[in-house]
Structure 1
Amino acid sequence: MDRDEIDEYVDRCQGLIEASPQMDEENTKVKLIQPFLELLGWDLYSTEVALEYTIPMASGSTHVDYALLVGDSPVVFVEAKPVRSTLSDDEVRQLRSYMRQELDVDWGILTNGKSFEVLTKDRRRNGGEEMSVVQFSLEDLGERPGVLELLTKESIRSGKSAEIAEQVAETNRAIRYLNEHESTVTNSVASAVTDEVGELPIDLEAQSREFVQGLVSVLREQRQFVGETDGHTPEDDSPPDPEVTGREGETGSADGPDNLEHIEPIEDHVAGTIRRQDIEGDSDAAVAVFPTRESGLPFLKENEAWGFVRVGRDFDYVAMYVTGDVRQVKYIAEVERVVSPDQADLKREPLEYKDRGAIADDKKVIVFRPGTLYELEDPVPFETRYPQGLRYTTLGELRTAETTDDML
């Protein structure tokens, strides 16, 4: 798929949305969604695209906005919403019910022209139940255009999309299991090491927990290969921002407060700017490095805290790597305590920082020592390595790093 063509599509759509943020559904379809389908290789002026396709239901019939066909059979349903709307769980459930009525429809796309959610049927498990494979935004598409390869006409027709979706589904299941059984797996790892080499003069449980959390991060990195020829690897040249979910059925979740719609901070507790060399503390002090989109910064600034995360060891500082167009380790703060969300005295209710999911019982909020949250005057720029999830470094490495490769 031609990158220039994708960039032109993204630029044109962003301009249209900026000029008409309250665009209604019909204009959204014509100006944003139909060009998207053409970008994927589907010919709107042929029999392979049907508008207002009739779907038989138990109580009569309904219509889906677009059906994409191979031969005489629909294989993809596309449900359109106006730009001014927000995609909801109810709309996802609606699309799932549409897909369930047609045996050959393995794919569904829900979009308002600026946000996209892709569903597929899990043929190997769960009786073919529809699951969410990937969520991405128009902005994400500019960063990671390869995600479109999952949805092209050629990929759908050749079966490549099905292979990718199955691998993502297996990875999602592994991530979900490790998250839900982290303590059990941690104990098993620690026991296996002890059985093999005997007692060690380290906190083996903390190291084992960090190993399990690192494994989840690696799986998340691997899962980002959607649309990449050879699969995404940690050495890829840009942080993958599309949100690939583990949502099967009706619900799903994502870590951290960085996947919410843009909001302005109620208060801004950034104390100012600081050069890395001027940060006080022992060079060996542990620094936890977290990734966030720019949309997660209001949480950081108004609470002097970060959440909702699992942590496996003690650390003295938190550094924030901002993804998207920024791609820099840009903020630093000293840790005061790690607490549960209900003990964090947040400026808003926790669910206002979360998207479509409850906060797991073992997730924490890292509260900073008041007055220690600074924006770095000399942020650490991205080179080839970036934190997909929690990573650790030292204050000394942070002070001297020329790029992220020097500290991660």
Structure 2
Amino acid sequence: MNEEAVRQYTNHAQATIESSPQMDEANTKAAVLREFLDLLGWEIPSNTQLEYSVKAFGKTYKVDYALILDGTPVAFLEAKGVDTAITEKHREQLEAYLKNEDVNLGILTNGKDYEFYRREVIDTKVRVNTLGKTDLESIPDRVTTLSAFRKDAIQSNEWEKILNRIKELQEARTTLEQEKDSLATEMADLFSERVSEKISPKTESQAKEMIDRLIADIESEIDSDGESVERPIAQDGSQPDLGEETDNEESYMIRILDGKNEVSDFHATNQVDAFTETVEYLIRSHDLISHLEPLPYVPGRTRPIIHTATVVDGKEMKQPRSVGDGYYLETNLSSTQKQRELRRLVQQYEFSVLFEDGW
């Protein structure tokens, strides 16, 4: 799926909502959600029916959008106005629509918040599972889930492969989180048996770091359309040596521009170092912190990116790097997320940023 098109939709929708933050449902559909449907390849009226009649709770209701293929609804989109918060009642409403009409996919949105659902039949039981919830700003991080709702993906049955892959990754993540200690111990025992007992303590520590990074990589693949990820990175930012060597080191270049003039450039053999060096430069040379205060800097809804501590509201940053004097940068981000955050930061100075080589 074209990430740039997703980003353009997000930017345009944000500007529209900022200019009219109290839009009702009718205006939200016209000004925001019609473009969202276009992004997914659905068109009114050729394959999208408005106010489609559905049965629920013993009555007949109208779902806002029914996405139609070969005369049959394949997905429902239930819309609310920007001025209306999504509630549990709305979720129950969409769930009933999907179950009663045997429709496998559903989206619930008010233009600001987006929730994705899948109907499944497991052991004769019909269930509607949540695929993900996100806000408008974070839509570019949900390209994988979003791509399953595209017309061509549903038409080719690719949607099922996409969502099954997400499910497998989520199960793998859960296993790694729950069994991290025992897996690390098993790896240490294996190295101790095959190599030397003396390396066992170091191996177990690095194994835990590797598992943490695998969990982060899985999250990145779920959120960012399966993009390639970096090798595991230790807490001190170094690349742990797990016994493999590579002859080909990929390089990552970041250029900061003021108009056509280059302000500075940063080159590293991994994304985290390039990202960190760029942010540190902005802090030291352009007083970035004064533009972001009060800290923590939370560009989305809940995830802090820059703070004076590694713990925010009782939650630890997953992969903090020290930057500037007494500040920490969250680097546990996918390639797409790193690029997006740097674009946001350089906007403080009306700079632009280019990503070259391995990006």
TM-score (norm 1): 0.56
Rounded Cα–Cα distance in structure 2 between residues aligned with 1:209 and 1:151: 36
Q: Which protein is richer in helix relative to its size?
A: 2
Per the alignment, residue 77 of structure 2 pairs with: 78
Any conservation in 2 of the 1:294–1:324 contact (CA below 8 Å)?
no
Any conservation in 2 of the 1:51–1:67 contact (CA below 8 Å)?
yes
Any conservation in 2 of the 1:109–1:116 contact (CA below 8 Å)?
yes
Query: How much does 1:108 deviate?
Result: 0.5
Any conservation in 2 of the 1:327–1:381 contact (CA below 8 Å)?
no
Any conservation in 2 of the 1:122–1:166 contact (CA below 8 Å)?
no
Query: How much does 1:159 deviate?
Result: 0.8
Structure 2: 5+ residue runs without aligned partners? 231-249, 254-282, 286-296, 332-336, 346-352
Per the alignment, residue 241 of structure 2 pairs with: none
Per the alignment, residue 49 of structure 1 pairs with: 48
- Are 2:117 and 1:102 equivalent residues in the alignment? no
2:228 to 185, 209, 233: 233
Per the alignment, residue 182 of structure 1 pairs with: 180
Per the alignment, residue 168 of structure 1 pairs with: 166
Deviates more, 1:65-74 or 1:298-307: 298-307
Residues 146, 59 of structure 1: alpha-carbon distance in 2 compared, 3 angstrom cutoff = closer
1:114 to 112, 116, 120: 112
Rounded Cα–Cα distance in structure 1 between residues aligned with 2:2 and 2:228: 22
Rounded Cα–Cα distance in structure 2 between residues aligned with 1:172 and 1:304: 26
Per the alignment, residue 16 of structure 1 pairs with: 16
Query: How much does 1:301 deviate?
Result: 4.7
After the TM superposition, which residues 113-262 of structure 1 pair with which residues of structure 2 at under 5 Å, given as runs?
Answer: 113-122=111-120, 127=125, 129-141=127-139, 148-201=146-199, 202-226=201-225, 231-234=226-229
Per the alignment, residue 31 of structure 1 pairs with: 31
2:188 is aligned with what amino acid? A
Structure 1: 5+ residue runs without aligned partners? 239-272, 276-290, 331-379, 386-404
Any conservation in 2 of the 1:23–1:83 contact (CA below 8 Å)?
yes
TM-score (norm 2): 0.63
- Secondary structure of 2:129's partner? strand
Residues 207, 325 of structure 1: alpha-carbon distance in 2 compared, 3 angstrom cutoff = closer
Per the alignment, residue 315 of structure 2 pairs with: 308
After the TM superposition, which residues 350-365 of structure 1 pair with which residues of structure 2 at under 5 Å, given as runs?
Answer: none
Residues 53, 122 of structure 1: alpha-carbon distance in 2 compared, 3 angstrom cutoff = same
Root mean square deviation, CA, Å: 4.3
Residues 167, 4 of structure 1: alpha-carbon distance in 2 compared, 3 angstrom cutoff = closer
1:107 is aligned with what amino acid? L
Rounded Cα–Cα distance in structure 1 between residues aligned with 2:284 and 2:223: 34
Any conservation in 2 of the 1:329–1:381 contact (CA below 8 Å)?
no
Any conservation in 2 of the 1:328–1:382 contact (CA below 8 Å)?
no
Corresponding pairs, count: 283
Any conservation in 1 of the 2:116–2:131 contact (CA below 8 Å)?
yes
- Secondary structure of 1:68's partner? strand
- Secondary structure of 2:189's partner? helix
Query: How much does 1:101 deviate?
Result: 1.6
Rounded Cα–Cα distance in structure 2 between residues aligned with 1:17 and 1:56: 32
Rounded Cα–Cα distance in structure 1 between residues aligned with 2:6 and 2:343: 25
